[in-house]
Chains A and B, each alone.
Chain A
Amino acid sequence: MFLAAFSPKDDREASPDAALVRLLLQNDVGAFEKLYDKYSRIVYSLVLRIVQQSGPAEEVVQDVFLQLWRNSAQYDATRGPFVPWLLTLARNRALDTLRLKSERQRRLENQTDELFSVVVAPQYEKELDEKRRAERVRSLVGELNPQQKRAIELAYFQGLSHSEIAAELKEPLGTVKSWIRNGLIRLKEGLHTAS
């Protein structure tokens, strides 16, 4: 497959997370518990931010980790790092719970295909603990103007499209597109510089 040309096969295959996921294939409950203890907080925080209610949020988190346990073979370490894969899975499950409009529903159903798509961390990306990573991302996004931050949050946490965000914020479509793109580019540059 052409994507294999840039799929990292070196250190990520040998990363501690990838090793734990491989142990799940052997029904290693201890490996599962380690992964849960390490990432349940960020997964729950993300899901709760999207669905806004603790009961449904816990159900989504349970589904996500059970999918990891039952279908760990779906995670292919050669196609990208584990945490972004897990967070993408959690986000899509949470948005599935949140979604109300049929059109949006179809779009998100298509997005679930992306679960098994390639995620490539940039060269500068280093392994950071979750706390430092969160501080870094929050600080960089906090520097964006409030409307720009709001547009990105509407897209990420509510699954809205450019047009839907433009309608929500009563701003021109082109402005919303620029806000989101420029905001993410600034985040990317900031993460690069900070590394």
Chain B
Amino acid sequence: MSNCDQFREMYEAYALGALDPPERAVLEAHLATGCAECAKSVAEARWLVSQLAYLAPEAATSDMLKGRLMQTVRSEAEAKSSSSVSTGATTTASGIPYWLSASIAALLLLTLYFAWDAHRLKDELRAANEQNQRNEQLVASAKGEFAATQQKLAAMEEQMAKMHRETAILTDPSSVKIMLAAQKIQAPQMVAMWHAKYGIVLTGQKVPMPSGNRVLQLWLIPKARGGKPMPSMTVRPDANGNFEVLVSNPPAAGSDTKALAITEEPAGGSAAPTTTPKWVGAMT
């Protein structure tokens, strides 16, 4: 594949002005290298695109337009003509040799040309700077999108890891199943699965919603005599009263725990239970 192959599909769209800025910048950068093949193709594409003008429905200009235009053109032609005659008379009267006035005229023309060329170069420089700024904005935007995508990817990976862990806890035969029965309230049992390595998955269905913005909190009741309940995760069920929480790092080992309990606590949870347990399940 030659270096120009990648640009072949752009010629017509470039001549049409339809290329989006990044593609346009790429092609123009290539044209700026002096590629005669691509420059010729673009020039031919310009001719092709110009033919699209004939798709416009035919319409005739008004006679007034031609009248206005011709009046302007005639008066400008007359002004130029009289200016030229006037200049000629002065020159003759001044007695400056023809070769000298021709040299002065040439110098003036050269000066004008250089001034025009400097102006043109300045315009080109300004256009290049603007293009550069646009490219920088595009790069900055692309970096922002890349960072956002990385964040999304990290969140997805985290979610995947959590799902794997939950699946392992729920399916591994070594997990211990704990049924938490409701205490003095009419509510279904909750189920906890405790895996020695991966942690606890606690699920509830049709659980009564805690009042206000209060939450349900899981407690680990130690076997040791006089041991205090150890606080763990808090959760609020969804609108249907369902929830599932993963406790990746339980505050105590299963072998040191006598039972699991659930209390209703203020938002954010408590360090020690402030209400009596609503669900309790003994380790088997």
Binding site for B on A (CB under 8 A): 2-3, 5-6, 27, 29, 32-33, 36, 40-42, 44-46, 48-50, 58, 61-62, 65-66, 69-70, 80-81, 83-84, 87-88, 90-91, 106-108, 110-111, 113-114, 117-122, 125, 130, 133-134, 136-138, 141, 152-153, 155-157, 159-163, 165, 177, 180-181, 184-185, 187-188, 191
Min CB distance B223 to A, Å, is: 64
Q: Does chain A have a CB within 8 A of B255?
A: no
Q: Does chain A have a CB within 8 A of B227?
A: no
Q: Is the CB of B51 within 8 A of A187?
A: yes
Interface size of B by CB at 8 A reads 51
Min CB distance B62 to A, Å, is: 7
Question: What are 14 A-B contacts with C-beta separation under 8 Å?
Answer: A3-B43, A36-B69, A49-B55, A58-B65, A62-B69, A84-B50, A88-B50, A113-B127, A119-B50, A137-B54, A138-B55, A152-B16, A156-B52, A157-B56
Q: Is the CB of B65 within 8 A of A48?
A: no
Min CB distance A155 to B, Å, is: 4
A177 to B12 Cα, complex, angstroms = 10
Within 8 A of A (CB), among B1-37: 9, 12-13, 16-21, 24, 34, 36
Q: Is the CB of B56 within 8 A of A45?
A: yes
Q: Is the CB of B77 within 8 A of A45?
A: no
A125 to B68 Cα, complex, angstroms = 35
Instruction: Determine which of B17, B60, B69 lies in contact with A66 in the assembled complex, contact meaning CB atoms within 8 Å.
Output: B69
Residue of A nearest to B41 (CB): A120
Min CB distance B196 to A, Å, is: 53
Residue of B nearest to A135 (CB): B54
Output the residue of A41, A120, A141 with the most chain B CB within 10 A.
Answer: A120
| Across-interface contacts of A177 in B (CB, < 8 A) | 9, 13
Summed over the interface, the residue pairs from A and B with CB atoms below 8 Å come to a total of: 170
Q: Is the CB of B47 within 8 A of A84?
A: yes
| Across-interface contacts of B62 in A (CB, < 8 A) | 58
Q: Is the CB of B20 within 8 A of A156?
A: no
Q: Is the CB of A125 within 8 A of B55?
A: no
Binding site for A on B (CB under 8 A): 9, 12-13, 16-21, 24, 34, 36, 39-40, 42-62, 65-66, 68-70, 72-74, 76-77, 80-81, 127, 130-131, 134
A70 to B47 Cα, complex, angstroms = 24
Q: Is the CB of A191 within 8 A of B51?
A: yes
Q: Is the CB of A80 within 8 A of B20?
A: no
Determine chain B's interface SS by DSSP, over half rule. helix
| Across-interface contacts of A48 in B (CB, < 8 A) | 56, 59
Q: Is the CB of A66 within 8 A of B72?
A: yes
| Across-interface contacts of A58 in B (CB, < 8 A) | 61-62, 65
Instruction: Determine which of A27, A121, A161 lies in contact with B81 in the assembled complex, contact meaning CB atoms within 8 Å.
Output: A27
Q: Is the CB of A187 within 8 A of B48?
A: yes
Q: Is the CB of B55 within 8 A of A42?
A: no
Known: A3-B36, A162-B19. A32 touches B53 (CB 8 A): no
Residue of B nearest to A90 (CB): B53
Q: Is the CB of B44 within 8 A of A120?
A: yes
Q: Is the CB of A61 within 8 A of B61?
A: yes
Residue of A nearest to B84 (CB): A27
Min CB distance B122 to A, Å, is: 13
| Across-interface contacts of A163 in B (CB, < 8 A) | 20
Residue of B nearest to A114 (CB): B46
Residue of B nearest to A137 (CB): B54
Known: A29-B70, A156-B49, A161-B19. A120 touches B54 (CB 8 A): no
| Across-interface contacts of B21 in A (CB, < 8 A) | 107
Q: Is the CB of B69 within 8 A of A65?
A: yes
Instruction: Determine which of B52, B58, B60 lies in contact with A137 in the assembled complex, contact meaning CB atoms within 8 Å.
Output: B52
| Across-interface contacts of B54 in A (CB, < 8 A) | 42, 130, 133-134, 136-138
| Across-interface contacts of A152 in B (CB, < 8 A) | 16, 52
A116 to B220 Cα, complex, angstroms = 82
Q: Is the CB of A133 within 8 A of B61?
A: no
| Across-interface contacts of A87 in B (CB, < 8 A) | 50, 53
In the A-B complex, the 3 residue pairs with the smallest Cβ-Cβ separation, listed nearest first, are A84-B50, A49-B56, A120-B43
Q: Is the CB of A69 within 8 A of B55?
A: no
Min CB distance A18 to B, Å, is: 16
